[in-house]
């Protein structure tokens, strides 16, 4: 379970450049998620062997200059609340601005590790100019040049030392699968959880999860046993504006990373919006199982084919990963809540399924022989062997003589065949072609 680092500061100080540098640090584990704005706001990074999640607050600010200040304040407040460490970026070329002072005032009250990063320091004279930032009252600062990367190493060395160590599960403890209920505010997450656990409350004990702000609720009914990770119950601050996209994504990051399956709740009366899409991609990039619940279905005017049209719209917005269960529910009438649980359990089982290598080859090789990858420049691609990798999530490798010539359309063809044969509904899968 990785820590969360939030990058805060006013616009145009170089937060996104620093963020991009962090998430490209090690390509193998890097992924970033885009909202509808296509800004890269969330990613993973690693330094000195410690992995952590990074959130760039800047990409979420929308609107004209006069609303910037309020938006920034709200995002800093939420970052203070949710992150394990905060990097506050300022710009040496402009010195201390009133907005910097506002942010510093919020950060001075905080007990979490705060790192003041003075950006755009690309010469000796700029080093001297950075002294001014002692006046922010945040103690020592780090000078860096986000564009060239100079100075970022010292900052990261200090940052990872301050992050909490990942907690290892105790030996011999059977880990129950974790189902995170995620979605934007007011989609009905709390009602869903209350509807599930409300009746026989005696079998429920709220125990603090491995992190300070995820609550795991053991659920044991109807033959199911798992932990519910509730993002709705995570401390909600009245002063955090409810409809901020940043709010939903930041609250979801920890719960998603901390889960096996994500139950994404959307509000049927509002449809599948950008915020829902951001959270969906967050779960997909983290290779979690996904079930989409369209809640408040009892409030929607029914016409012929309404469910079909609604489903089609969602699949368009989640393309190319469209093989996801979509269930229409109502927490008020308790419509299809049991089906939602059954589906989540099935997705979890599928996600951890292992296919024996001999059976996998028996099934896949004839399919590949019948429809081989197209020849390129007169060269024929031969695939002789395939197997599932011993990874926590489904990953498959196909050994070929010329793997570099296997293009995306063929990879999609193989993925579709795998989904068709093995029913990977709701589970992201990875396919690799390697030199035999």
> How far lies 256's CA from each of 84, 178, 200, in Å?
16, 10, 27
| 57 known member of a binding site | yes
289: annotated binding-site residue? no
Token pair, residue 130, equals: 């950075």
Task: Tell whether 112 is in a known binding site.
Answer: no
Is 85 one of the annotated binding-site residues? no
122 is in an annotated binding site: yes
Q: What is the DSSP string of 70-109?
A: HHHHHHHHHHHHH-SEEEEEEETTT---HHHHHHHHHHTT
Q: Is residue 186 marked as binding?
A: yes
Asked if residue 313 belongs to a known ligand binding site, the reply is: no
50 in a known ligand binding site: no
12 assigned to a ligand binding site: yes
412 labeled binding residue: no
**Other residues' Cβ atoms within 10 Å of the Cβ of residue 72:** 22
Is 428 annotated in some ligand binding site? no
Is 13 marked as binding a ligand? yes
Q: Is 43 annotated as a binding residue?
A: no
Residue 47 is labelled as binding a ligand: no
Quote the CA–CA distance of 15 and 417 in Å, as a whole number: 42
Annotated ligand binding at 153? The verdict is no
Does 251 sit behind a cis peptide bond, omega within 30 degrees of 0 on the bond before it? no
Residue 151 assigned as binding residue: no
Confirm whether residue 56 is marked as ligand binding: yes
287 labelled binding-site residue: no
Q: Is 359 annotated as a binding residue?
A: no
Nearest CA to 59 among 88, 81, 38?
38
298 is in an annotated binding site: yes
Whether 183 has a binding-site annotation, put simply, is yes
Q: Does residue 139 have a known ligand-binding role?
A: no
Using the structure block, give the residue that is written with the tokens 């710009």: 91
Ligand-binding site membership of 16 (annotated):
yes
361 is in an annotated binding site: no
Say whether 70 counts as a known binding-site residue: no
Residues 329, 340 contacting (CB under 8 angstroms): yes
Is 187 annotated in a binding site? The answer is yes
Is residue 58 part of an annotated ligand binding site? yes
Burial of 318 (0-12, 13-18, 19+ CB in 10 A): buried
User: Do 21 and 56 form a contact (C-beta atoms < 8 A)?
Assistant: no
| Residue 276 is labelled as binding a ligand | no
Of 227, 100, 222, 251, the closest CA to residue 174 belongs to 227
91 assigned binding-site residue: no
119 marked among binding-site residues: yes
Query: Is 60 part of any known ligand binding site?
Result: yes
Known binder of ligand: residue 188?
Answer: yes
Q: Which residues belong to the annotated binding site for GTP?
A: 9-16, 56-60, 119-122, 183-190, 230-234, 295-298
List, as residue ranges, the binding site: 9-16, 56-60, 119-122, 183-190, 230-234, 295-298
């Amino acid at each position: 379970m990785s820590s969360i680092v939030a990058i805060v500061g006013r616009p145009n100080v170089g937060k996104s450049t620093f963020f991009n540098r962090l998430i490209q640090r090690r390509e193998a584990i890097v992924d970033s998620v885009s909202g509808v704005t296509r800004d890269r706001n969330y990613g993973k990074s690693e330094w000195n062997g410690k992995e952590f999640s990074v959130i760039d607050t800047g990409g979420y600010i929308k609107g004209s200059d006069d609303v910037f200040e309020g938006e920034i304040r709200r995002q800093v407040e939420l970052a203070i609340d949710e992150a394990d460490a905060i990097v506050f970026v300022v710009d040496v070329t402009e010195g201390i601005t009133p907005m910097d002072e506002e942010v510093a005032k919020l950060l001075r009250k905080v007990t979490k590790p705060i790192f003041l990063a003075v950006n755009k320091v690309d010469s000796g004279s700029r080093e001297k100019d950075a002294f001014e930032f002692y006046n922010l009252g945040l103690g020592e600062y780090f000078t860096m040049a986000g564009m060239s990367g100079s100075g970022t190493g010292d900052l990261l060395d200090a940052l990872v030392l301050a992050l909490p160590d990942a907690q290892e599960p105790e030996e011999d403890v059977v880990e129950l699968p974790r189902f995170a209920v995620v979605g934007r505010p007011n989609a009905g997450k709390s009602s869903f959880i209350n509807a599930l656990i409300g009746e026989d409350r005696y079998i429920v004990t709220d125990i603090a999860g491995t992190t300070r702000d995820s609550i795991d609720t053991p659920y044991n009914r109807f033959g199911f046993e798992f932990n519910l990770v509730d993002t709705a119950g995570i401390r909600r601050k009245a002063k955090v504006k409810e409809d901020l996209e940043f709010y939903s994504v930041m609250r979801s990051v920890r719960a998603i990373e901390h889960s096996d399956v994500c139950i994404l709740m959307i509000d049927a009366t509002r449809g599948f919006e950008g915020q829902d899409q951001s959270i969906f991609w967050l779960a997909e990039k983290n290779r979690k199982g996904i079930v989409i619940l369209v809640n408040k279905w009892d409030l929607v005017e029914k016409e012929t084919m309404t469910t079909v049209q609604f489903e089609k719209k969602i699949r368009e917005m989640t393309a190319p990963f469209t093989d996801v269960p979509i269930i229409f529910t109502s927490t008020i009438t308790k419509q299809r809540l049991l089906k939602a649980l059954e589906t989540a359990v099935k997705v979890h089982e599928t996600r951890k399924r292992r296919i024996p290598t001999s059976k996998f080859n028996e099934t896949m090789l004839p399919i590949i022989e019948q429809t081989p990858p197209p020849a390129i420049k007169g060269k024929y691609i031969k695939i002789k062997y395939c197997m599932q990798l011993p990874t926590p999530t489904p990953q498959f490798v196909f050994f070929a003589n010329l793997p570099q010539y296997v293009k995306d359309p063929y990879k999609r063809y193989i993925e579709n065949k795998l989904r068709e044969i093995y029913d990977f509904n709701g589970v992201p899968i990875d396919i690799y072609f390697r030199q035999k």
